[in-house]
A and B are shown apart, each in its own frame.
Chain A
Amino acid sequence: MKEFFIRNLSITYSDNNESLRNVNMEIEARAITVLFGPAGGGKSTFLRVLNRLNDLADVKEMKGEVLFHGENILDPGINVIELRRKVGMVFSRPVPLPLSIFDNVAYGLVMAGERNQSRLREAVEKALKQAFLWDEVHDRLKDSAYSLSGGQQQRVCLARVLALEPEVIMLDEPTSALDPIATANIEDMLRELKNQYTIIIVPHNVQQAARIADYAAFFLMGEVVEFGKGIELFQVPKDKRTSDYVTGRFG
């Protein structure tokens, strides 16, 4: 089953950087899709289209369509607030909000209007357990989120998204600021989560991509050069550019 249908997506920013050019893709539900490629290739831009976060930036032109649950999310009439609750995002640097751990995780629910304290407590506990953080913080939920380590903070950011019970979780280089052990933790977590959620991830490097990919897309200069299943792209790439990148000839 497909979560997203992306057709002929192009986007230009007002500084005239064309960030995406004619992207066509289908994202499989309940699987990990990996977007990899050199810096500036458009991967982050692509993620931000899927939850309309690029509304915050100066977009000059956006063409094409992105179908999600039957609706084109590029349509101006779309309820973007609702979209963002269904399509969550974890960023490359952990960004805890200046609130307690509890308030961080509950933030999305509170913004959505949830006032019932016991429902909030349940949701926070469930999300922190899914992020494998509950045992470490359950006795200090009122502490500031800044009192945690980098890896813990990133898991708070993940729990924040999970609390909203999204359909899709997008992660933009989530482990680039973390040490190898924290990185391995996150990767294990993702393998668990893909049973419930559609995961789209921009990995930290090609090795990470190969480790976790169910599907992979190679982005180069705003275009999707190649898309394939599993570790096809890494072992038997069809396009020379893909194989050059994967073997480290450029990057």
Chain B
Amino acid sequence: MKAARSARSKVVETLGFNLLRLITLITVIPIVGLVVYIVIKGAPAISWEFISQSPTNGMRDGGILPAIIGTLYLTLGTAIFSVPIGVLAGIYLLEYATENRWTRLIRIAIINLAGIPSVVYGLFGLGLFVIFLRFGTSILAASLTLSIMTLPVIISTTEEALHSVPSSFRVVSTSLGATRWQTVRRIILPQALPGIITGVILGLERAAGETAPILFTGATFFLPQLPHSPLDATMALPYHIFIISTQIPGMPIQIQYGTVLVLLVFVLGMNLVATLIRSRARKKRQW
């Protein structure tokens, strides 16, 4: 009786595990399939001209250089604003703040910022930067909007990275007469740097791929010349993809896939760099 019951449990277990394997496989297949499909259909469009020239023929031909440059500008702009504030905020939370009502409030605010839908950020950017501060539809307005959106990621990864540094370093440094900032700058930050950089790259990767926040704050489809000031509007890869796939009749499919491929390579490339930094740092660690 007992043997039969345990045999049945074994069968159930095997079936169950296989079901889980199947589920995981089904989850993973779309990812792989998607990337492979885009590579296959987009690769033919990729050429040096494609990434180094501007669009021609009513945007239906030529290259996508302005969109690539625009995305680079926006990513840079996001980094300039979000990295200093985000890293310092992370330092504050971990090295300076005590657990009290105010720190709880800060953490709630961060959770909040992390959960706000990207299109609501777009509305906010429109209201504050474009209209109220009169920056207009510009790289500046879009970058500022994207930076606030990216802050939560940078703050949390900074906190985690700082937390992973042994606290004995802090105690020793303090006992030798260092101030809090000296301890952070000389010992903690350098040790936490790889983790922080990884987090920054992942945050910027997300910002580079976002469309909704830049829809009304900085992105444009048709640009007569490359932007030469932060107050200019710009093309950007995600927005470009959106427009050419939904609003341009007669848009060659190959160019669409090519543009998507470029964005994918950019974004996944950043992912790869971040992962490499993380694993190399883990190996080099002395403690």
Give B164-199 interface residues, CB cut-off 8 Å to A: 168-179, 182, 186-187, 190-191
Do the beta carbons of A84 and B176 come within 8 Å of each other?
yes
Do the beta carbons of B169 and A98 come within 8 Å of each other?
yes
Interface flags, A68-109, vs B, CB<8A=1, else 0: 000000000000011011001101010101110000000110
Complex: how many Å from CA A107 to CA B191? 16
Do the beta carbons of B172 and A81 come within 8 Å of each other?
no
Do the beta carbons of B172 and A164 come within 8 Å of each other?
no
Give B120-169 interface residues, CB cut-off 8 Å to A: 168-169
Tell me, rounded to whole Å, the shortest Cβ–Cβ distance linking B49 to chain A. Answer: 49
Indicate if B27 sits at the interface (CB-CB under 8 A).
no
- Chain A residues near B286 (CB, 8 Å)? 98, 144, 146
Q: Which of A51, A81, A97, A160 contacts B179 (CB 8 A)?
A: A81
User: Which of the listed residues B168, B174, B176, B287 has the most CB atoms from chain A within 10 Å of its own CB?
Assistant: B176
Do the beta carbons of A112 and B177 come within 8 Å of each other?
yes
- Chain B residues near A91 (CB, 8 Å)? 168, 171-172
- Chain B residues near A85 (CB, 8 Å)? 176-177
- Chain A residues near B182 (CB, 8 Å)? 111
Q: Which of A56, A160, A164 contacts B171 (CB 8 A)?
A: A56
Indicate if A53 sits at the interface (CB-CB under 8 A).
yes
Tell me, rounded to whole Å, the shortest Cβ–Cβ distance linking A144 to chain B. Answer: 6
Closest chain B residue, CB of each to CB of A161: B176
Q: A111-B186, A144-B286, A146-B287 are in contact. Are A164 and B176 (CB under 8 A)?
A: yes
Do the beta carbons of A98 and B174 come within 8 Å of each other?
no
Tell me, rounded to whole Å, the shortest Cβ–Cβ distance linking A198 to chain B. Answer: 16
Q: A144-B286, A146-B287 are in contact. Are A98 and B171 (CB under 8 A)?
A: no
User: Which of the listed residues A82, A107, A157 has the most CB atoms from chain B within 10 Å of its own CB?
Assistant: A107
A-B contact pairs, 26 of them (CB 8 A): A53-B171, A53-B174, A56-B171, A56-B174, A58-B98, A81-B177, A82-B177, A84-B174, A84-B175, A84-B176, A84-B177, A89-B175, A93-B168, A97-B172, A97-B187, A98-B187, A98-B286, A98-B287, A99-B187, A107-B176, A107-B178, A107-B186, A111-B173, A111-B177, A111-B182, A112-B177
